[in-house]
Amino acid sequence: MTFSITPSVFDLLPALRVGILSVKGANNAGEHPEITQLLRDAEASVRLRFTEENYGSDPGITAFQEAHRAFGNNPKRYYPSHYALLKRVIKGGTLPLINPLVDLYNTVSLRYTLPVGGEDVDRCEGNILLDRADGSEPFIPLGETNNDPPDPGEVVYKDDAGVLCRKMNWREADRTKLTADTKNAVLVVESLLPTDSLEDIMGELSSLVSRFCEGSQERALLTRESPSMDL
């Protein structure tokens, strides 16, 4: 299985870099009070760094809003994932505890104001692509049962069976969600700013996953010059 970004995505978003962390043999079950504390600390840091008036102007937010507009999405209606997390936290909410991998990638997303997500590789079919949709691909959103296919030209993660995440980083598919039973996963960190220390951020995510979920790992940084990784 490979994870690749198509040239059409880089034509639209030439500054895009995507960090990939492939995790095999993970233990994603159980409760970890330390992870809960890390997530709550990240939330507290967000509330110190941002207000309701200024968080929308953070460069990590505006870059992805512009990217969403480039493929025809209204990012004020269909939020990039990290914008949605910030909005919830700044308004006084807390993020729910899902499972270790999800809680850890949400922690990293809050710390660095970047979109972070993940898929259960064993539930994927064929190769994974970040691509421009043709509009025919099936998509069942997280927690739902009805098909909600992408718009033509929309940036999506997909495999041979359909879309894994719509509007680049807006909504995950139910089919490949990370669960307590997940053993093999791919975690994804997206960046559009050259100032983001993406290699260091990936190293931090890798260390957290090793500490709490064990398993073996490989990671790569995908760019136009190096757009693919074997999982």
Other beta carbons within 10 Å of 4: 15
> How far from 110 is each of 32, 135, 139, CA to CA, in Å?
19, 31, 27
According to the model, what pLDDT value does residue 46 have? 97
Q: What is the pTM of this model?
A: 0.97
In the chain, which stretches have pLDDT less than 50?
A: none
Comparing CA positions, the residue from 134, 128, 132, 119 lying closest to residue 160 is: 128
Angle between helices 33-49 and 100-112 (to 10 degrees): 20
Q: What digits encode the pLDDT tens for the residues 117-154?
A: 999 999 999 999 999 999 999 999 999 999 999 999 99
According to the model, what pLDDT value does residue 169 have? 98
In the numeric block, which tokens belong to residue 210?
């090793």
Residue count of the chain? 231
According to the model, what pLDDT value does residue 67 have? 98
According to the model, what pLDDT value does residue 223 have? 98
According to the model, what pLDDT value does residue 63 have? 97
Q: Hey, where are the domains in the chain?
A: 2-230
Scanning the chain, the segments in alpha helix (DSSP H) are 7-12, 33-49, 59-70, 81-90, 100-112, 198-213
According to the model, what pLDDT value does residue 165 have? 98
Q: DSSP 3-state assignment of 98?
A: coil
According to the model, what pLDDT value does residue 2 have? 98
CATH code reported for the domain at 2-230: 3.50.40.10
